């Protein structure tokens, strides 16, 4: 009688462990496209990611770098004060997207150009994404805006 109880207990534990492992694997598989790591332009230049890797890049749009091409393709350069990365984006830019303003783009780095699939611009003069602020502070070019 004791061996039957022991065997059932072991079976339940093994079944629970398999179910936990399977659910963890399914959650990880489902989230694989939703996890985008942030990189500053200096990090991208120092260690270029694979062309298949999707990540976020952020910094300031360099003054005089916005070039509107044929159709909806826009090219510009994003910098963190240390290094600069050229960006190509096909689509409609946010209304608040301008030179010398903070931005974050999602996409991949292919042949020395960040090909963005999404561009986000800061939404008022005091807000800048934390990742961008940290990258600019690291390069020593961040200037705090008085919120008062």
pLDDT at 124 over 60: no
Summarize the confidence of residues 22-27 as an average pLDDT: 92
pLDDT at 114 over 90: yes
CB-neighbour burial class of residue 31 (10 A; exposed 0-12, middle 13-18, buried 19+): exposed
Percent of the chain with pLDDT over 70: 82
Cβ pair 86, 109 in contact under 8 A: no
Alpha-carbon span 105 to 24, nearest angstrom: 29
Q: 75: closest CA among 111, 115, 109, 46?
A: 115
Alpha-carbon span 53 to 15, nearest angstrom: 35
The fold adopted by the segment(s) 37-139 is: OB fold (Dihydrolipoamide Acetyltransferase, E2P) (2.40.50)
Per residue in 54-92, pLDDT (tens digit) is 888 988 888 888 888 777 889 999 988 888 899 999 888
């Amino acid at each position: 009688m004791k061996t039957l109880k022991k065997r059932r207990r072991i079976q339940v534990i093994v079944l629970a462990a398999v179910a936990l492992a399977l659910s963890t694997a399914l959650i990880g598989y489902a989230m694989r496209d939703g996890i985008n790591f942030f990189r500053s332009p200096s990090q991208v230049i120092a260690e270029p990611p694979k062309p298949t890797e999707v990540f976020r890049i952020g910094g300031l749009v360099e003054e005089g770098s916005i070039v509107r091409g044929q159709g909806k393709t826009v090219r510009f350069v994003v910098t963190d004060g240390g290094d600069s990365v050229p960006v190509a984006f096909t689509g409609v830019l946010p209304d608040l997207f301008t030179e010398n303003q903070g931005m974050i783009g999602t996409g991949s780095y292919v042949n020395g150009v960040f090909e963005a699939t999404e561009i986000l611009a800061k939404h008022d003069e005091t807000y800048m994404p934390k990742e961008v602020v940290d990258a600019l502070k690291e390069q020593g070019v961040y200037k705090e805006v008085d919120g008062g």
